[in-house]
Amino acid sequence: MKKYSFIIILSIVVFFIALMFKYGFFDTENSDHQTSKSYNSVLSELADEEYPDNPDISVRHYKYLTTKMNSIEFIKSNNFFDIKFIPESIEDDTVKMFSIPLMEFIPTIPERLKGDEYMSLISIVNQEWNRNQVKWEGEQLNFFTEEEYVVNAEKITRIDIARNCLNSYLWELFFYTEVDGVNKVFYHGWFNFPSDLYKDLFYERNGQDFNNYKDYMEEWKDPENSNFDLSKIRLQITEKAVPFIDKSNTMYPIKGERKKKKIDIIYPVKYNQMSDFQTDSSLFATFTKPGYYSRKDPRKTELGRFKKLNNVFYRLTTVDSINYDELVFKFSNYNGEVTQFIFGGIQFSRLPKLNEDNANSGSQFSMGIGNHPFYEDFNSHEKLSSKYNPYFGVLLDKENNWLDSHKIGIDGPLLHQDYNNPNLIHVWLLSFERQALIGHYIVDLSK
């Protein structure tokens, strides 16, 4: 009898173990216990004495200086991350976001450039040297959090994570709360993204050792000014010269980002038109480590390169059998030195239709190949893969050698269609760190 009882009990145990395997209790391939790994980094803040040139001073929440956080934790589970923002005060909530993908934050060699060492380098460098700030708000935020979170007695209504443009590991965090229907930043923290995790993600993304690019990504080493082969990134179909109007002798609308960043324009001290910036004497506050603006170390420019616009050419191109628009601007400075400003991989018909007074709501593009925008929401961020993004923006000399746009002092084009005539494309030049608009050109594509 005891023998049969033992067999019955053993059979029941085996049955329940089988059920546990069936429903994943011992799933070693997918179990968080088996695949999760935690990475931690300290969060820090800057007081006004440390950051007197902060452009957010005029628009921030009054609790900005009193909100403190302790650390950030990335918990990897397969290809996603749970992220915890741990407060300094035990009275505040630990803020949690779940199943967040991070791969689109990682500088990426576009698929069409793999195998070309120089073009791959330029794409990687320019993606790192341009800011990518992603926001979660509304339904996007609610989807990735368990509950409403309160920090410093303020309900969080938006979270931003930014990979800034200084080196691979310097990232930033923002919390917003709603005031009279407007989100205002009440926390801004800086942290070092865990370097070992970054290098692992870089290899996973690109199939290359991060050390191949380390000097450029960590120390801002300048690539050589070598030939930039446009045929590597798109196929040109047609080209034609197009008429244009240079409106740089007027002033840009000082709104939005341009309004709050006015504090960081050092020279010219007085300016009444955009052409006042088109000189090598123009200076801006430098964006410096860990990621803030400083007037103490003025950023030199070569904006005199844009003093005279000589020609504009329109090109129809194709990438992966899809047609895109491209524009070529040929400028010269006081000495006749030619600078080409070329951008493409855009469908102009999809640009917003705006009047000039609302230009700051236009589409901002950075300089580089396959870059994400400076600012975007999470859904847009995930839909736009830098592996396949057809966009590019570049400065070249007369012989088609690549020029460092950051040294010259522009961040890219701001674009929109004319509100009344979609054949007219407005092109504004974004200065270094988008602190000013230093040129405005209307291109007529109907001719």
What is the distance of C-alpha 348 from the center of its chain? 21
**pLDDT, mean of residues 374-400:** 97
287 Cβ neighbours under 8 A, 6+ residues apart: 164, 165, 166, 293, 299, 433
**Residues paired with 233 in a beta bridge:** none
Where does the pLDDT of residue 35 fall: very low under 50, low under 70, confident under 90, or very high at 90 and above?
A: low
Buried b (16+ CB within 10 A) or exposed e, 409-428: bbbbbbbbbbeeeeebbbbb
pLDDT at 422 over 80: yes
Average pLDDT over residues 315-323: 97
Q: What is the DSSP letter of 350?
A: G
CA atoms within 13 A on the CB side of 333: 15
Name the token pair of 173: 């965090």
Confidence of residue 358 (pLDDT cuts 50, 70, 90): very high
Q: 88 vs 10, which has greater pLDDT?
A: 88
For residue 51, how far is the Cα from the chain centroid?
22
Q: What is the pLDDT of residues 226-260, one digit of tens each?
A: 999 999 999 999 999 999 999 999 999 999 999 99
Cα separation of 35 and 77, whole Å? 6
Which pLDDT score, from 0 to 100, does residue 99 have? 94
Query: In this structure, are residues 67 and 95 in contact, taking their beta carbons and an 8 Å threshold?
Result: no
- Identify the pLDDT of residue 147: 81
Distance CA 71, CA 91 (A): 15
Higher pLDDT, 424 or 12: 424
pLDDT at position 78? 84
Exposed e or buried b per residue across 299-331, where buried means at least 16 C-beta atoms within 10 angstroms of its C-beta = bbbbbbbbbebeebbbbebebeeeebbbbbbbb
Instruction: Read off the pLDDT of residues 139-156 as tens digits, 9 standing for 90 and up.
Output: 899 877 768 999 999 999
Give the CA distances from residue 13 to residues 3, 24, 93, 216, 354, in Å, rounded to whole numbers and listed in that order.
16, 17, 42, 59, 70
The pLDDT of residue 63 is above 80: yes
Helix H or strand E segment including 298: strand 292-299
The stretch 68-79 carries a mean pLDDT of 94
